[in-house]
A = this chain, B = another copy of it.
Amino acid sequence: MRTVETDQDIQDMARGAVLLGTGGGGDPYVGELFLRAQMQRGRKAKVVDPSEVDDDAFVLSIAGVGAPPVLIEHLVSEKLLLRLLARAEAFYGRRVDVLISAEIGGANSMFPLALSAISGVPVVDADGVGRAIPHIEMTTFSIFGVKATPGIVMDELGNVFTLETVDDRTAEDAIRAVTGTLGAMTYCALYPMSGKQMKASAVLGTIDQTLQIGRVIRQGRERSEDLFGDLLAYLGRDGRLATILFDGKIVDVTHEMRDGWHWGRATMSPLGDGPDVFTIDFQNEFTVARLNGRTVTIVPDLISVLDRETGEPLTGEMLAYGQRVKVLGYAADPLLRLPESLDVLGPRMFGLDEDYVPIEQLNAARQPEALPA
């Protein structure tokens, strides 16, 4: 058990969560502000390693649901988070021992930490996907046998829903529909599980990843050095491929809100003259990056867009004409690359008409060409 001790750590974690959000997941900024305010009152979020969680502990995931622009507009409500915990404990008939993030990428990295700070319940250093994803049934919890329901959905107005669904896709559809009718954002308690189930299904160590990523970016920026080398070294740990896919400027970006999702495509050109055309498609998250029409990274491998000077990671809705960016591609956690995972969060589940190919294969084939810019 450790506590999140400093403002700087929280800022680093939030920045790292944006990067792992791969363009989506909602902005963790309001969660960051909430945590920093709690810390000023002496309330600190507690984080435990997965190994510290008893096999029979009751672990529960807390998440906010809403389109990313909505997540940004809503402040974190202390009262609602505490009510959610109280209602969850009454609903499940037992005390919640450990909280877990459903997805570490974006805003949902912060909500369990926020509830931890005000309730004292620790958060385990793990999550249900190691990045951001648009659907509940795409978590490794779902993929490796932990059902999303029975669960609870609540909003700030006092509406409370419980759900028991035959599968997690139905839970996704129902929660999305209910959240849509409520017009804004809901908080959910989902994936009731044992400590043993958590260890078997979660992507481990991902809170620490957000902290390390945020630190590398901040420290590189403070030293006025190129921070991308250190960042690639961290993202490429354990022999994973991490590479700069493109270095250039955004020349076109389309945004569309449709069916509750944020869809779009960003098109980039090299900074100097050059014929290369680089595109990134997104459905909340960045799903596929292509250089001159050829795929160079595809879900569930990760694509992150950063300001090329400051290293600030950018979300999909922040992308705009003229921005100078570096695009990083890096390998997803090995859990997400298993066949049973690809069945659920592979490219075809995002409407893409191609199969998953690991980033290292896509970029090995690219080796004979020079990397652009």
A310 within 8 A of B: no
In the complex, which residues of chain B have a beta carbon less than 8 angstroms from the beta carbon of A176? Answer: 181
Interface string of A169-206 (1 = CB under 8 A from B): 01001101110111000000000000000000000000
Q: Do B157 and A166 touch (CB < 8 A)?
A: yes
A159 within 8 A of B: yes
Q: Do A177 and B181 touch (CB < 8 A)?
A: yes
A157 to B170, CA, bound (A): 11
For chain A, give the interface size range: 10 to 19
Shortest distance in angstroms between A91's beta carbon and chain B's nearest beta carbon? Answer: 9
In the complex, which residues of chain B have a beta carbon less than 8 angstroms from the beta carbon of A181? Answer: 170, 173-174, 176-177
B158, B161, B174: the one contacting A162 at CB < 8 Å is B161
A177 to B173, CA, bound (A): 9
A73 within 8 A of B: no
Among residues of B, the one whose C-beta sits closest to the C-beta of A169 is B181
A233 within 8 A of B: no
A165 within 8 A of B: yes
A164 within 8 A of B: yes
- The contact sample of 22 A-B pairs, CB cut-off 8 A, is A158-B164, A158-B166, A159-B163, A159-B164, A159-B170, A159-B174, A160-B163, A161-B163, A161-B164, A162-B162, A162-B163, A170-B181, A170-B182, A173-B181, A173-B182, A174-B181, A174-B182, A176-B181, A177-B177, A177-B178, A177-B181, A178-B178
A interface, CB within 8 angstroms of B:
157-166, 170, 173-174, 176-178, 180-182
Q: 19 extra interchain contacts, Cβ-Cβ under 8 A, other than A159-B163, A159-B166? A: A157-B170, A159-B165, A159-B170, A159-B174, A160-B163, A160-B164, A161-B162, A161-B164, A162-B162, A162-B163, A170-B181, A173-B181, A173-B182, A174-B181, A174-B182, A176-B181, A177-B178, A177-B181, A178-B178
